C-alpha cells in the first residue's frame, strides 16, 4: 500500500467530471487500499479518487463507528431532513465551516467486486456520502456555502498557507540562490485570485507611488497607517503626511499615530485583518507584535540594492559615494534594521544631474511596480525571500546637521556628491559673510586656490582641497533658491574672500 499525494484547491482535477468504473479487478483493489492508507494518514473519514488525481467514480470511507467501505459509480437518493455541522476537506486543508447537509442520505453503488449495494446513512455517515459524491461530481463543500461563509473559509485558508510559506524562508541559503517552488501554490493561486488584503505603512512622498500602485492592482488596501500631523513651516502649522493626504483623497481608511509601538496601532492592524503589511518610507521599525499580526508578515520596499545601504538614507548615501547605479529591493521585515530576506530587486542608473530628490522620485516609481509584482508573486505562491549576504552589508544612517556642512578641504568631486545627496532638502551648508548659505547644485571645475576662498567672483567658484566648486544654485539665509551667478552679481564677492 502507498500513501498518495492529495490534490488541493486550485488543482483542475478536482473540478473534472469522473468516469464510471468498468473493471473491478486487482488493480482497482490496490487503488482502494492506497486510498484507505492515504485517508488514514491524512487523517480523514472519506477520500474520493479525484482527490488523488484519478478521474474515476469511486471513494472510500470510514466514519470510525463500524461503517467502512468502498463505493463505485455512486448515486444519492432519499435525501431528507436538514442539519448544519462543521465540515472540512482534505483538499482544502485546515479550515472548517458550518455546512448544511441532508440529515439522512441513501446511496447506491457497487462494491470492490462490482456487486450492487445500497446503504442508508445518518449523521456523519450521511454527510460523508454527500461530501464524497460531491467530489465525484466536481463539487467542493465551498460551493455549498453562502458568500460570507466562502469568504471566511478562504480567509482562514489564506492565513494558514501564507504563514506556512513565510516560515519556509528561514531555510534560504543566500541572496541569488534560485527560489524554491512554493508549497501550496495551487491553493494560494485559488484563494488569492482576488488579491491580498494589505495594511499600508508610509509617511513620505516617496511612499505615495506605492500606495497608488496598490490601489490600481488586484490587492485590497484595508488600512493606511501614517504619522500624526506635525508642526512645519514658518508658522509651525500642523501638517499631515503626503501619505495621509493621498489616502484620504482616495477614500481609504487612515490611522494617524505618533509612534508605531502603541496599542492603537496594534488594534488598528488587528481589526483590519490584513494578509500582509506593506512598509514604504515609514521611518520607524515595526515591533514584533505588529509584524506578527499579518500571516504573511511585512513586505518592505527599500531604496537600495540590499544588503548595500541598510538604514534611513540609502538614496543619499548612494550619491555621497558617487555610485553609478543603485536600485530598489523588496524584502521581508524582521526585528533588525533592513536585515530580512530579499524577494526581488531592480537596478537603476544614477544620472549625472541626479540629486536625492530626483533619484528618490524615480526609485519610488520603479519600486512601486516592483512592490506590486512582489505581492502578485507571493499571492500566486511562487516567490520566496532569500537571505542577505551579511558580509556585503553596508550602512546608511541618518545624516545630521554636521553632515550637511561642506568641508572645503575635501576634493571638489566629493563636495559635489555631498551637495547632490542633500538636495533639494535640507541642503548642504556653508557660510558667507557670517550668514548661512545653502548649496543646492554645484559642479567641479579645474581651478586652484586656498580651500574655501573665491577664485572666480563672476561664476561664484570656490576652491576646494583639490579642484574647485562652482556654486550653480544656492539659497542664502532667509531667501529663496537662486542661481549662483545671480547672487554673485549682487553680493560682489571679492577674489580670495572666504566661505565657511
- 3-state secondary structure labels for all residues of 417-432: HHHHHHCCCCCEEEEE
Is 51 one of the annotated active-site residues of the chain?
Answer: yes
What are the percentages of helix, strand and coil residues in the chain, rounded to 5?
A: 35, 30, 40
Phi, psi of 411 (to 5 degrees): -60, 150
Q: Are 97 and 87 in contact (CB under 8 A)?
A: yes
Q: How many CB atoms lie within 10 A of CB 179?
A: 15
C-alpha cell, 78: 432519499
Active-site choice (4, 47, 54, 90): 90
Is 327 one of the annotated active-site residues of the chain?
Answer: no
Q: Are 325 and 308 in contact (CB under 8 A)?
A: no
Active-site choice (104, 135, 169, 317): 135
Active-site choice (14, 28, 31, 46): 46
Which residues are paired to 277 by β-bridges? 199, 298
Class of residue 311 by CB neighbours under 10 A (exposed 0-12, middle 13-18, buried 19+): middle
CA distances from 98 to 62, 408, 416 (A): 21, 75, 68
CA distances from 156 to 152, 177, 295, 379 (A): 6, 31, 10, 14
Q: How would you classify the pairing of strands 220-227 and 197-202?
A: parallel
- Closest by CA position to 360, among listed 411, 404, 301: 301
Is 388 one of the annotated active-site residues of the chain?
Answer: no
Is 195 one of the annotated active-site residues of the chain?
Answer: no
Is 67 one of the annotated active-site residues of the chain?
Answer: no
C-alpha cell, 272: 483590519
**Which single residue is written with the C-alpha cell 435525501?**
79
DSSP state of 386: B
The angle subtended at Cα 187 by Cα 184 and Cα 193, nearest 5°, is 130
Q: To which H or E segment does residue 232 belong?
A: strand 230-232
C-alpha cell, 384: 520566496
Is 406 one of the annotated active-site residues of the chain?
Answer: no
Q: Are 440 and 427 in contact (CB under 8 A)?
A: yes
> Which three-class secondary structure state does DSSP give residue 165?
helix
Q: To which H or E segment does residue 126 belong?
A: helix 123-136
Is 448 one of the annotated active-site residues of the chain?
Answer: no
First CA to last CA across the chain, in angstroms? Answer: 85
Active-site choice (89, 136, 145, 332): 89
Active-site choice (35, 51, 145, 371): 51
Active-site choice (87, 132, 161, 414): 132
Task: Report the alpha-carbon distance of residue 83 to residue 142 in Å, rounded.
Answer: 17
Task: Report the alpha-carbon distance of residue 110 to residue 453 in Å, rounded.
Answer: 101
Active-site choice (71, 87, 131, 383): 131
Task: Report the alpha-carbon distance of residue 225 to residue 253 in Å, rounded.
Answer: 9
Catalytic residues: 46, 51, 89-90, 131-132, 135
Amino acid at each position: 500500500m502507498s500513501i498518495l499525494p492529495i490534490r488541493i484547491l486550485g488543482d483542475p482535477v478536482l473540478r473534472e467530471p469522473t468516469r464510471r468504473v468498468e473493471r473491478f479487478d486487482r488493480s482497482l483493489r490496490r487503488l482502494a487500499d492506497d486510498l484507505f492508507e492515504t485517508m488514514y494518514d491524512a487523517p480523514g473519514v472519506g477520500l474520493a479518487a479525484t482527490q488523488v488525481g484519478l478521474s474515476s467514480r469511486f471513494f472510500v470511507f470510514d466514519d470510525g463507528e463500524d461503517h467502512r467501505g468502498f463505493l463505485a459509480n455512486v448515486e444519492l437518493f432519499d435525501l431528507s431532513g436538514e442539519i448544519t455541522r462543521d465540515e472540512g476537506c482534505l483538499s482544502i486543508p485546515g479550515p472548517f465551516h458550518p455546512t448544511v447537509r441532508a440529515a439522512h442520505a441513501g446511496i447506491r453503488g457497487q462494491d470492490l467486486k462490482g456487486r450492487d449495494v445500497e446503504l442508508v446513512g445518518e449523521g456523519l455517515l450521511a454527510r460523508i456520502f454527500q461530501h464524497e459524491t460531491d467530489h465525484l461530481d466536481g463539487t467542493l463543500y465551498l460551493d455549498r456555502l453562502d458568500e460570507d461563509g466562502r469568504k471566511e473559509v478562504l480567509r482562514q485558508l489564506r492565513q494558514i498557507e501564507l504563514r506556512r510559506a513565510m516560515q519556509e524562508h528561514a531555510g534560504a541559503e543566500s541572496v541569488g540562490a534560485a527560489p524554491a517552488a512554493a508549497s501550496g501554490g495551487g491553493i494560494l493561486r485559488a484563494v488569492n485570485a482576488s488579491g491580498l488584503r494589505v495594511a499600508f505603512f508610509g509617511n513620505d512622498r516617496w511612499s505615495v507611488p506605492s500606495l497608488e500602485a496598490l490601489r490600481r492592482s488586484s490587492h485590497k488596501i484595508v488600512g493606511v497607517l501614517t504619522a500624526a500631523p506635525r508642526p512645519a513651516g514658518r508658522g509651525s502649522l500642523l501638517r499631515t503626511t503626503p501619505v495621509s493626504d493621498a489616502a484620504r483623497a482616495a477614500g481609504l481608511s487612515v490611522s494617524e499615530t505618533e509612534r508605531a509601538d502603541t496599542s492603537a496601532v496594534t488594534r488598528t492592524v488587528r481589526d483590519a485583518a490584513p494578509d500582509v503589511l506593506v512598509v514604504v518610507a515609514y521611518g520607524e521599525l515595526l515591533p514584533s507584535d505588529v509584524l506578527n499580526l499579518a500571516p504573511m508578515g511585512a513586505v518592505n520596499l527599500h531604496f537600495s540594492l540590499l544588503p548595500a545601504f541598510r538604514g534611513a538614507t540609502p538614496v543619499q548615501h548612494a550619491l555621497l559615494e558617487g555610485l553609478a547605479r543603485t536600485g530598489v529591493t523588496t524584502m521581508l521585515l524582521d526585528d533588525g534594521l533592513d536585515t530580512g530576506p530579499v524577494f526581488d530587486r531592480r537596478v537603476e542608473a544614477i544620472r549625472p544631474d541626479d540629486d536625492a530628490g530626483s533619484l528618490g522620485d524615480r526609485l519610488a516609481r520603479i519600486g512601486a511596480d516592483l512592490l506590486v509584482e512582489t505581492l502578485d508573486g507571493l499571492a500566486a505562491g511562487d516567490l520566496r525571500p532569500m537571505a542577505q549576504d551579511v558580509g556585503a552589508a553596508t550602512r546608511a544612517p541618518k545624516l545630521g546637521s554636521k553632515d550637511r556642512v561642506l568641508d572645503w578641504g575635501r576634493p571638489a568631486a566629493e563636495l559635489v556628491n555631498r551637495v547632490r545627496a542633500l538636495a533639494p532638502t535640507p541642503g548642504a551648508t556653508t557660510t558667507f559673510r557670517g550668514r548661512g548659505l545653502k548649496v543646492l547644485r554645484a559642479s567641479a571645475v579645474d581651478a586652484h586656490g586656498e580651500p574655501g576662498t573665491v577664485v572666480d567672483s563672476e561664476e561664484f567658484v570656490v576652491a576646494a582641497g583639490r579642484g574647485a566648486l562652482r556654486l550653480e544654485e544656492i539659497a542664502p539665509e532667509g531667501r529663496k533658491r537662486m542661481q549662483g551667478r545671480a547672487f554673485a552679481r549682487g553680493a560682489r564677492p571679492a577674489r580670495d574672500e572666504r566661505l565657511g
